[in-house]
Amino acid sequence: MKEGWNELKELFESKRSFEEDFELENGRYISHCLGCDKDFVGHECRNMCKLCSEERLKQLRENERIAADMEKQSLIKEEFYGLSSGDIVEHVSGGGLYVITADLGKHKLCSETIDIYNPLEWRLISKQSITIS
Ligand SMILES: [Zn+2]
């Protein structure tokens, strides 16, 4: 009996438990965390312990920050519609570089670029002529 009491006391004092819920109606439920698979005490509606909830919240905030950064880097509609053949764009999340090959108005065709450096691996198929006036 004494041993069980100590386990319960440890559970209530655990960093995984929500002390702020204890005074609420149904705030002292022993639940099983969906994140770490350990028991904690808190409101009956909670399904994650305090540590996992805080970690999850940190991840959500980081995802929001990344989304906001991507939005800052991305083109506005007018800039996108103004892209034309030869322009080079970078996907904000994937990072790949693409050369616009055709302007279809609201849609663009593009081809992915790759880094090449060894002349022995390549042969010429056609060469674009450049006229300098
Ligand atoms: Zn947990």
Q: Where are the domains of the chain?
A: 2-69, 75-116
* 3-state SS assignment for residue 83: coil
Compute, in angstroms, the gap from residue 82 CA to the centroid of ligand 1.
49
Which protein residues have their CB within 5 A of the ion that is ligand 1?
33, 35-36, 49, 52
pLDDT of residue 2: 65
Is the pLDDT higher at 94 or at 124? 124
68 Cα–ligand 1 center, Å = 28
- Distance from the alpha carbon of residue 55 to the mean position of ligand 1, in angstroms: 9
Strand partners, 102: 109
- pLDDT tens sequence across 14-41: 999 999 999 999 999 999 999 999 999 9
Q: How many residues does the chain have?
A: 133
Burial class (CB in 10 A: 0-12, 13-18, 19+), 12: middle
Could you tell me if 81 and 105 are in contact, meaning their C-beta atoms sit under 8 angstroms apart? yes
100 neighbors 86 (Cβ within 8 angstroms)? yes
Residues 18, 42 contacting (CB under 8 angstroms) = yes
pTM above 0.85, yes or no: no
How close is the Cα of 20 to the center of ligand 1, in Å?
Answer: 17
**Token duo for residue 42:** 């808190």
pLDDT tens figures, 47-68 = 999 999 999 999 999 999 988 8
> Tokens 């065709």 — which residue?
109
Cα(121) to centroid of ligand 1, in Å? Answer: 53
pLDDT above 60 for 1: no
- 6 CA distance to ligand 1 middle (Å): 20
- C-alpha 35 – ligand 1 centre gap (Å): 5
What are the pLDDT digits (tens) for 80-102? 999 999 999 998 877 789 999 99
> How many angstroms does the Cα of residue 44 sit away from the middle of ligand 1?
15
